[in-house]
Amino acid sequence: MILNSQQIRWFCEHQDMISPFVDHQNRNIGKKRVISYGLGGFGYDLRLSEKDFRVFRRTGGDIIDPKSFDADHLFSSRLIEDGSGKYFILPGHSYGLGVSVERLSIPKHIEALFIGKSTYARCGIIVNMTPGENGWIGNLTIEISNSAPVDAKIYANEGVCQALFFSGELPEIVYESSRKYQNQPERVVLPKI
């Protein structure tokens, strides 16, 4: 069963499922319009942190190996600010890694699914769909692809993806504290096995 806004609010207020928690859809910071974040009818829109955003380098001949990832394949993107807000540039036909402002603590009988927001999707920006396993805790590393042929602004401290939460019977398998991506900080966590 997918959780609705009342159920998500309850888990956030009583079990600290999302922190910091915004109990409504926020579409403004001061007088400035932003890409919405916060609680929705059946989900929660997470924000992209300004603390860490990395983009894959354009090099020929290199191979990405998820079993032995070379951090030199990435460079830290510079945070830029203008009248539209704070943002990173994601070059056309490239891929970047960011991290959520919010820290999640997913209860043992809930599974989360993270999907892209339509505002970005309409610009050719794809947020990879990834799971948030039951029992997982941390700031989410967010994978973002720019399928457009032009560079794109990816806004910090604004909505970047939506978390959907599904409840079920308590399973016998839970994401344990010793697992590789448990307790991720507010920085990009690279692939590991």
pLDDT in tens, 49-77: 999 999 998 777 788 899 999 899 999 99
CB 88 within 8 A of CB 77: yes
- Mean pLDDT of all residues belonging to the chain: 95
- Strand duo 130-132 + 110-116: pairing: antiparallel
In a domain, 191, yes or no: no
Q: What integer pLDDT is reported at residue 30 of this predicted model? A: 86
Report if residue 81 sits inside a domain.
yes
**64 in any annotated domain:** no
Q: How confident is the model at residue 28 (pLDDT cuts 50, 70, 90)?
A: very high
Looking at the structure of the chain, the number of domains it has is 1
- pLDDT at residue number 42: 98
pTM: 0.94
**pLDDT tens digits, residue range 108-161?**
999 999 999 999 999 999 999 999 999 999 999 999 999 999 999 999 999 999
Residue 180 lies in a domain: no
Question: What contacts 24+ positions apart, CB below 8 Å, involve 176-180?
Answer: 176/135, 179/136
Tokens of 157: 């401290």
Intra-chain end-to-end CA distance of the chain, in Å: 31
Three-class DSSP category at 121: helix
Element (H, E) at 7: helix 5-15
Q: Does residue 124 form part of some domain?
A: yes
Counting residues of the chain whose pLDDT is more than 90, the rounded percentage is 88
In this structure, is residue 63 part of a structural domain? no
Tell me the residue length of the chain: 193
Which one, of 69, 85, 66, 87, lies nearest residue 77 by Cα?
87
In-domain check, residue 108: yes
Over residues 99-109, mean pLDDT: 98
| pLDDT band, residue 178 (cuts 50/70/90) | confident
Interval 4-24 mean pLDDT = 98
Find the domain containing 129 and state its range: 5-58+70-167
Main-chain phi, psi angles of 15, to 5 degrees: -130, 10
Please classify residue 146 by burial: count the beta carbons closer than 10 Å to its beta carbon, then call 0-12 exposed, 13-18 middle and 19+ buried: buried
Positive or negative CA dihedral for 166, 169, 172, 178? positive
**To the nearest whole percent, how much of the chain has pLDDT over 70?**
100
pLDDT above 90 for 29 = no
Q: Compute CA distances 103 → 51, 64, 66, 143, whole Å.
A: 14, 28, 25, 16
Active-site amino acid positions: 143
pLDDT at 187 over 90: yes
10 Å Cβ neighbour count for 16? 13
Could you tell me if residue 188 is inside a domain? no
CATH number at residue 103: 2.70.40.10
Whole-number pLDDT of residue 57: 85
* Whole-number pLDDT of residue 58: 76
